[in-house]
Amino acid sequence: MEMKIDKFINFVFAEQFKIKRKEVFIDIRTRKLGKKEFFERKLFPVSKLEDIYHIFYKQAYISDVYYGVHFRYSEREYIEESDIVYVDVDGSIDQEFFNKTKIIPTIVQTSNSGFHLYFKLENPVSKADWLIISKIVANYIEIYLASGKIDYQVSSDFARILRIPNTLNSKKNFFQVKILNISENRINPFKVLGFAKNYSGEIENLDEFLHLLTKSLDGSYTKGNRNNIVFGLSGLLKKKKIKFDIAKEVINYITDYFHDEEKNSRLRVLYRTYYEVQNVKAFSILKEYIKDFSFLDLLERNYSEEINLGEIKIINDLTRRRLLLVRRKSLITLAYFCIVEFTPIREFFVRMKIVDIFKKVRQFENTIFYISDFLYNSHLLNENFYKTFLEIMKRLCFYHKNLNKKEVIV
């Protein structure tokens, strides 16, 4: 058991010692017997893993002792990064879950009314990225649970306190909290974040979309058809780059609306479509069951939401890195390069089939005029996107002016 505790401590805290930028503390709290929310709290300074070994071993067989998963610099300030994601499962987990899931927990530990699943990341990530990853992992785990449910409030709380292994749970007849399994499994955080970034679209009016969708499925969402419909609908939402959370909300809604008793099976179809299936001929599948596709009008992507002026720094950085390479080349190449590397703009230009403009226009000023004029006259883009693109072009003009030593007016 001591060997498991040592591994547990190393797993949770070793990387945090590398991340810290000043003295850190571990948050230890004890619940008073008979009290629901009252804790005795102490912040213990720690400088090495051995300090935490001593603290954890001292708490063994004491009732209701919790620890802060992430180090603190003070009562209100936390360490900035993490390589640990945890999921709180209320209820049971059977062996079938471990046979089916592709994201295997690194540590499985008993908790108050279920289990705590810990997932080790291959690299530490910022708190903002941690929140994204924790939500995606929790979504995935819930889909493969037979009867348990995810406590999303616990799983997405960076400041969360969890029970220390080997301590006692007074709510459960002083049941001892145990580590059931420790493995070497790791999650690549950049793959998860890449997925979240690629699928970040919103549905403009979700309530209206759900109303039109259920109306179009009325009479066809029946046994024998349901799985195919969910597969086709999942593929459609994925193709439109809709966020997984929103897609999950859509599937949850239609399964509840039509009293589908196999909701978990439908959610698994959604997950596999988003994460595992490469290409889905969504419209070909759905047209067998749906006659009215008016709900599609609400799935048009709002490109203006994907770009903000703060992201123009990307263009600046790209330009600086490429200046030496393009001094003797056409400045059109520079503009083309920036747009190709800036993903949201690239997607737009590919969709509109106007990337070839750069091959036809020879002068930089003409390029700016041509693109700006096109955007201005296009009714597909709103004012925010237009302003953003103009700002990017102005930045490119600035570098053009420095290279050629002459004034450029936009």
Domain ranges of the chain: 2-194, 199-301, 306-404
Residue 245's pLDDT is 84
Please report how the helices 312-326 and 383-404 are oriented relative to each other, as an axis angle in degrees rounded to 10.
Answer: 30
Residue 35's pLDDT is 58
* Cβ contacts of 49 within 8 Å, gap of 6 or more: 9, 10, 13, 14, 17
Q: How confident is residue 113, by pLDDT bands cut at 50, 70 and 90?
A: confident
* Residue 328: pLDDT over 50: no
168 torsion bin: left (phi>0), alpha (psi -120 to 50), beta (else):
beta
DSSP code of 242? Answer: B
Beta strands 114-126 and 107-110 are antiparallel
Domain 2-194 homologous superfamily, CATH: RepB DNA-primase, N-terminal domain (3.30.70.1790)
Strand partners, 46: 24
Residue 47's pLDDT is 92
Residue 397's pLDDT is 55
Helices (H) and strands (E) in the chain, counts: 17, 12
Residue 322's pLDDT is 40
Query: What mean pLDDT, rounded, does the chain reach?
Result: 75
Helix (H) or strand (E) holding 233: helix 226-239
Residue 388's pLDDT is 56
342 torsion bin: left (phi>0), alpha (psi -120 to 50), beta (else):
beta
Between 405 and 217, where is the model more confident? 217
Q: How confident is residue 267, by pLDDT bands cut at 50, 70 and 90?
A: confident
How far is residue 157's CA from residue 59's CA, in Å, rounded to a whole number?
Answer: 24
Nearest to 155 by CA among 125, 134, 186: 134
Between 196 and 130, where is the model more confident? 130
pTM for this structure? 0.62
What average pLDDT does the segment 109-136 reach?
88
* Residue 365: pLDDT over 90: no
* Cβ contacts of 274 within 8 Å, gap of 6 or more: 195, 199, 234, 238, 244, 247
Beta strands 114-126 and 186-187 are parallel
Going through 283-347 in order, the beta strands assigned E by DSSP cover none
User: What pLDDT, in 10s, does the model give residues 45-54?
Assistant: 999 999 999 9
Going through 146-292 in order, the beta strands assigned E by DSSP cover 149-150, 161-163, 168-169, 175-176, 179-182, 186-187
User: What pLDDT, in 10s, does the model give residues 52-97?
Assistant: 999 998 888 888 899 999 999 998 898 988 999 999 998 888 777 8
Longest dimension (CA), the chain: 81
Residue 34's pLDDT is 58
* Cβ contacts of 281 within 8 Å, gap of 6 or more: 235
DSSP string, 48-102: SHHHHHHHHHHTTT-BSEEEESS-BSSSS-B-SEEEEEEEEEES---HHHHHH-S
321 token code pair: 């890195």
198 torsion bin: left (phi>0), alpha (psi -120 to 50), beta (else):
alpha
What angle (nearest 5°) sits at the alpha carbon of residue 364, between those of residues 362 and 366?
Answer: 75
* Residue 210: pLDDT over 90: yes
